[in-house]
């Protein structure tokens, strides 16, 4: 047995013997580490284990407390614990889930299945006809067919339009910082490559978007998963303690409409995260692909807003709002700008010219804001519908997220449910879901699923949710009596 497991067992015994009651504070990590003469990491691991067993809980800036026994509520309210609060031991892991993700995505993209598992939005509200006309027009009129015209940083008109959009949303950015990429995926990969090397450890949210884990895997780096709450996002205090004990090269986050949790990190936490990493002179890579899909009246701010020293590398794209097929994204890499531009050049030379020109023209002609307003309304309405249908037809001890933007719902199923089994059983009935397994290496989310609600609500989707509810209800609990 490892030292932290031994410590966790000992503490568990103490608590079971009634040494502390529900709600009492347990000794601080530092206190216990000094008392026992053991490392902070060992204590943190022990506390994480106890937290994942539901024995203690951490409260931001207050420490760890003995948990009150909680009964299943249905939505994640301010008082309930997030499915993502389960703290994984802070052990860096090599990432090997890309094969599982690829297999899963291939089946999810099957046309004959209900696409609840898809990561991409339904494209029917997108202005695709107009975009393809524009693409035709710009291609016909263009006299620049050479790659040399679109060398990094990319199409200058598009760059100006993107900078203009940030300005509209309250962020003044220098157009010279923007580099056009092949979707946000390339932006994330280039930024990671610019700031870290093989063997380095990267802090990520837990759960996180699987392509972040892929980027880390591809570059021979290791991921360390930081607990991420549905209320406050990545646990910045926890990250701070990890920075003291581990060599972290960078961190990768989704502060707005996190995939898969749908949450927005509160302003205080955004500021705190940027201040922490800036003090440590460590870069933060943020994905902002859902930023324009907010349900509130105003857009959320990105980490870039608080970045005074250029440590934030901001990545985004038009994939979630205009067309995922055009594959147009961008990076604003702060002080790493020249490095990212050079990596873009040596990796892929340039980004396809026609989609860049077509989107630039679309943004110039106007209508994007109107399109976005419509999209936000659709997603917000559909988020209400799917939430109420899931509440009605899933077992009552499921916990669902309350997305504040985007189009993804996260559902924590009872602990005995295996999301991969559910994924396979659902697929047999021509329904796809996103199994929690692909969002983490910790195994903490194997009873969670992600559902895409961007598709117009119809009887097929409703029937699919009802079927999922029935399949879940039929999985017998391990200790349930045989009928
Ligand atoms: C958080 C996040 N970042 C990046 C991406 C990838 O975006 P793109 O399709 O532009 O590469 C996704 C897609 O699902 C995402 O959810």
CATH of the domain at 464: 3.90.1150.10
Q: What is the largest CA-CA distance in the chain?
A: 80
Query: In which domain, by residue range, is 320 found?
Result: 128-366
Look at residue 215 and give its three-state secondary structure: helix
Question: Does the reported pTM lie above 0.75?
Answer: yes
- Domain stop point among 66, 85, 116: 66
Q: Check pLDDT > 60 for residue 482.
A: no
Window from 46-60, 243-257, 289-303, 353-367 with minimum mean pLDDT: 46-60
| 210 & 294 share domain | yes
Alpha-carbon separation of residue 54 from 85, 87, 197, 229, 236 (angstroms): 10, 10, 36, 15, 21
- Domain stop point among 66, 82, 98: 66
Nearest protein Cα to ligand 1, atom 14 = 119
| 186 & 138 share domain | yes
Is the residue at 481 inside a domain? no
Residue 270 belongs to a domain with what CATH number?
3.40.640.10
Is 254 near ligand 1, meaning CB less than 6 Å away? yes
Q: Name the E strands within 278-435.
A: 284-287, 312-317, 328-332, 399-400, 408-412, 434-435
Q: For residues 105 and 427, what is the distance between their CA atoms, to the nearest angstrom?
A: 12
Is 184 near ligand 1, meaning CB less than 6 Å away? yes
Is 319 near ligand 1, meaning CB less than 6 Å away? yes
Which residue has better confidence, 214 or 194?
Answer: 194
Number of Cβ atoms within 10 Å of the Cβ of 29 = 20
pLDDT digits (tens, 9 = 90+) for 86-112: 444 455 555 556 777 777 777 777 668
Residue 57 belongs to a domain with what CATH number?
1.10.10.10
Residue 59 pLDDT: 81
| 387 & 272 share domain | no
| 91 & 43 share domain | no
Q: Where are the alpha helices (DSSP H) in 169-256?
A: 183-195, 210-218, 236-245
Could you tell me the pLDDT band of residue 442, with boundaries at 50, 70 and 90?
A: confident
| 230 & 345 share domain | yes
Q: Check pLDDT > 60 for residue 188.
A: yes
Tokens in use for 114? 């209900």
Residue 94 pLDDT: 52
Q: Which atom of ligand 1 is nearest to the CA of 329?
A: 10
| 454 & 375 share domain | yes
When divided into structural domains, the chain yields a total of 3
- Domain stop point among 50, 66, 82: 66
337-343 mean pLDDT: 97
Q: Check pLDDT > 70 for residue 308.
A: yes
Alpha-carbon separation of residue 91 from 41, 108, 236, 461 (angstroms): 9, 31, 17, 39
C-alpha closest to that of 59 among 82, 42, 36, 38: 82
- In degrees and rounded to multiples of 5, residue 218 shows phi and psi of -60, -35
Q: Which atom of ligand 1 is nearest to the CA of 188?
A: 4
Q: 468: cis peptide before it, omega within 30°?
A: no
- Provide the phi-psi class of 174: left if phi over 0, else alpha when psi is between -120 and 50, else beta: beta
Q: For residues 438 and 419, what is the distance between their CA atoms, to the nearest angstrom?
A: 10
Is the residue at 480 inside a domain? no
| 182 & 314 share domain | yes
Nearest protein Cα to ligand 1, atom 3 = 287
Strand pairing report for 434-435 and 63-66 = unpaired
- In degrees and rounded to multiples of 5, residue 241 shows phi and psi of -70, -35
| 48 & 146 share domain | no
Residue at token pair 């050079």: 342
User: 184: CA distance to ligand 1 center in Å?
Assistant: 6
User: 470: CA distance to ligand 1 center in Å?
Assistant: 31
Q: Which atom of ligand 1 is nearest to the CA of 318?
A: 10
């Amino acid at each position: 047995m490892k030292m932290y497991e031994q410590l966790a067992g000992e503490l568990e015994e103490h608590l079971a013997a009634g040494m502390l009651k529900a709600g009492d504070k347990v000794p601080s990590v530092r206190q216990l580490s000094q008392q026992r003469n053991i490392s902070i990491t060992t204590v943190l691991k022990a506390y994480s284990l106890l937290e994942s067993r539901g024995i203690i809980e951490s409260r931001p800036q207050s420490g760890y407390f003995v948990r009150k026994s909680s009964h299943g509520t249905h939505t994640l309210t301010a008082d309930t614990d997030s499915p993502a609060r389960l703290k994984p031991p802070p052990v860096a892991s090599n990432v090997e889930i890309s094969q599982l993700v690829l297999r899963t995505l291939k089946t999810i993209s099957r046309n004959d299945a209900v696409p609840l598992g898809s990561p991409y939005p339904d494209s029917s509200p997108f202005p695709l006809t107009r975009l393809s006309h524009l693409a035709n027009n710009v291609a016909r009129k263009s006299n620049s067919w050479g790659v040399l015209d679109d060398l990094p940083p990319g199409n200058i008109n598009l760059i100006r339009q993107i900078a203009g959009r940030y300005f509209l949303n309250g962020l003044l950015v220098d157009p010279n910082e923007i580099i056009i990429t092949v979707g946000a995926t390339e932006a994330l990969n280039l930024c990671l490559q610019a700031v870290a090397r093989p063997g380095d450890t990267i802090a990520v949210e837990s759960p996180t978007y699987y392509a972040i884990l892929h980027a880390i895997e591809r570059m021979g780096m290791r991921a360390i998963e930081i607990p991420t709450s549905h209320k406050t996002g990545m646990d910045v205090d926890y990250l701070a303690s990890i920075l003291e004990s581990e060599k972290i090269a960078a961190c990768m986050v989704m502060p707005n409409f996190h995939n898969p949790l749908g949450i927005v990190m509160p302003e205080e936490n955004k500021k705190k995260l940027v201040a922490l990493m800036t003090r440590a002179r460590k870069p933060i890579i943020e994905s902002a692909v859902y930023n324009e899909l907010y349900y509130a009246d105003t857009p959320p701010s990105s980490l870039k807003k608080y970045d005074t020293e250029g440590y934030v590398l901001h990545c985004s794209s038009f994939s979630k709002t205009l067309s995922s097929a055009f594959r147009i994204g961008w990076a604003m890499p702060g002080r790493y700008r020249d490095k990212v531009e050079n990596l873009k050049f040596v990796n892929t030379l340039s980004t396809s010219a026609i989609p860049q020109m077509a989107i630039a023209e679309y943004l110039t002609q106007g209508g994007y804001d109107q399109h976005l307003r419509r999209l936000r309304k659709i997603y917000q309405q559909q988020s209400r519908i799917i939430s109420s249908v899931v509440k009605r037809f899933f077992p009552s001890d499921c916990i669902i997220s309350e997305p504040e933007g985007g189009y993804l719902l996260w559902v924590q199923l009872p602990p005995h449910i295996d999301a991969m089994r559910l994924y396979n059983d659902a697929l047999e009935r021509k329904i796809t879901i996103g199994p929690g397994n692909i969002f983490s290496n910790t195994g903490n989310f194997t009873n969670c699923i992600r559902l895409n609600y961007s598709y117009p609500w119809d009887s097929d989707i409703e029937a699919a949710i009802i079927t999922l509810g029935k399949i879940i209800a039929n999985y017998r609990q391990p200790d349930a009596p045989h009928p």
